[in-house]
Homo-oligomer: A and B are copies of this chain.
Amino acid sequence: MSKPTVYEAVPQFGRLRNEVLYGDVWNQPELSKRDRSLATCAILAALGKNAELEAHMKMGIENGLTVEELRGLVVQVAFYAGWPCGVNAAKAGMELFAADLGRS
C-alpha cells in the first residue's frame, strides 16, 4: 500500500478537517471565500508555514484573489511580520509570480 496522507495517518484529524475545517468554518457567511483566502495566506505567511501557504495562494487565486494582490500581500507581510516572512511568502508564491511574468 502507498504511504498514508497525514489525514489517513491520524484519522480523527482527517475527520475534523472534513467535518469542521472545510465542512463548516470555510462555509460560514461572515467572510467571503476570497477574503478567507486572503486572511489565511496572511496568517500562514506570518507564521512561516510555507508548504501550506503555497497551496493556499493557489486556492486563493481560484477564490478570486489576483496575482498582483498576492504581490501586495508579500510586502505587507514583510513589514508587519518581518522581512524574512516576506521573503518566504515570495518563495511560496514563486510559481504564480513566475507564470505571471511569463518566466515559468
Contact = CB atoms under 8 A, between A and B. Distances in A.
A85 interface: yes
Count class of interface residues, chain A: 35 or more
Contacts of A101: 4, 8-9
**Copies of this chain:** 6
Contacts of A91: 6
A52 interface: yes
Contact of A9 (B35, B83, B98): B98
Contacts of A9: 71, 90, 93-94, 97-98, 101
Interface of A: 1-4, 6-13, 16, 20-21, 24-25, 28-31, 35-36, 38-49, 52, 68-69, 71-88, 90-91, 93-94, 97-98, 101-103
